[in-house]
């Protein structure tokens, strides 16, 4: 799917998404533990939530002592982020062309925000994340594990939205290699089995700029 197609889907479903996913209820404790590890490395520092959606992770980052900024491709999602979490700066932007100077952040969070990026575009996203990192900055990526492209719009269709949405599942080794190529070296990895409501395993990688 093109960025324009993904943007159109999330603009359409933004309110249903924001109403359903208000905080970290969908996450398992073990992956939140990795997120907590990430934030302990960045307490008191600037963190970009790249692909922040409706902003549900912004207060989580702030509660851990980070100074978060959010960007998302979808104006509808950013509208809800500003409505639901008005205390945090947010902007409409693509993760392939971040509107920040080099070295603007100590950390970049990609919490399931690369899942609609085709394999050919992942390197661009990670290179941009590396560009805006300061020396010794950290990146965290969360994603579904696999080696397939899945159509995942059925939940939104049940809510009355006529949409099609593709998700790119990846292996942790593939993501670690893409990070390494972008100049960010893996320092920690979690892979967990699917929860009862999930169909695929989940992974979280933490990496540090080289």
Q: How far from chain centre, in Å, is Cα 98?
A: 14
Distances, alpha carbon 148 to alpha carbons 71, 185, 193, in Å: 27, 25, 17
> Coil, strand or helix: which one is 145?
strand
> Coil, strand or helix: which one is 209?
strand
CB 125 within 8 A of CB 116: no
* pLDDT at residue 3 is higher than 90: yes
pLDDT of res. 191? 97
* Tally of structural domains, the chain: 1
* pLDDT at residue 31 is higher than 90: yes
| % of the chain surpassing 70 pLDDT | 100
Domain that holds residue 134: 3-209
pLDDT of res. 143? 97
* pLDDT at residue 198 is higher than 90: no
Q: 20: Cβ–Cβ under 8 A, 6 or more apart, which residues?
A: none
pLDDT of res. 71? 98
Q: What angle do CA 166, 167, 168 make, to 5 degrees?
A: 125
* pLDDT at residue 26 is higher than 90: no
What is the CATH classification number for the domain harbouring 182? 3.40.50.150
Position 210 confidence tier, pLDDT thresholds 50, 70, 90: confident
The CA-based dihedral angle spanning residues 97, 99, 104, 109, taken in that order and rounded to the nearest 10 degrees = -60
pTM assigned to the model: 0.96
At 115-171, the pLDDT tens digits run: 999 999 999 999 999 999 999 999 999 999 999 999 999 989 998 999 999 999 999
Burial of 91 (0-12, 13-18, 19+ CB in 10 A): middle
% helix, strand, coil for the chain, step of 5: 35, 30, 35
Largest CA distance in the chain: 46
* pLDDT at residue 12 is higher than 90: yes
At 37-91, the pLDDT tens digits run: 999 999 999 999 999 999 999 999 999 999 999 999 999 999 999 999 999 999 9
pLDDT of res. 161? 93
pLDDT of res. 25? 85
* pLDDT at residue 35 is higher than 90: yes
pLDDT of res. 142? 97
The chain-wide mean pLDDT, for the chain, equals 96
């Amino acid at each position: 799917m093109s960025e324009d197609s993904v943007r159109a889907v999330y603009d359409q479903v933004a309110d249903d998404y924001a109403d359903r996913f208000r905080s970290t209820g969908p996450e398992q404790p073990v992956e939140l533990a990795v997120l907590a590890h990430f934030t302990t490395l960045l307490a008191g520092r600037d963190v970009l939530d790249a692909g922040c959606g409706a902003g549900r992770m912004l207060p989580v980052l702030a509660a851990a002592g980070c100074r978060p900024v959010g960007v998302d491709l979808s104006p509808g999602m950013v509208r809800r982020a500003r409505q639901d979490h008005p205390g945090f700066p947010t902007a409409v932007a693509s993760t392939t062309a971040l509107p920040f100077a080099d070295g603007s952040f100590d950390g970049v969070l990609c919490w399931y925000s690369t899942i609609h990026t085709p394999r050919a575009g992942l390197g661009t996203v990670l290179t941009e994340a590396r560009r805006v990192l300061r020396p010794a900055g950290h990146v965290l990526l969360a994603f579904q594990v696999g080696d397939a492209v899945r159509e995942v719009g059925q939940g939104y269709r049940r809510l009355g939205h006529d949409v099609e949405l593709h998700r790119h599942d990846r292996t942790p080794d593939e993501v670690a290699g893409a990070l390494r190529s972008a100049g960010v070296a893996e320092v920690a990895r979690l892979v967990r089995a699917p929860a009862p409501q999930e169909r695929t395993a989940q992974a979280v990688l933490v990496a540090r700029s080289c």
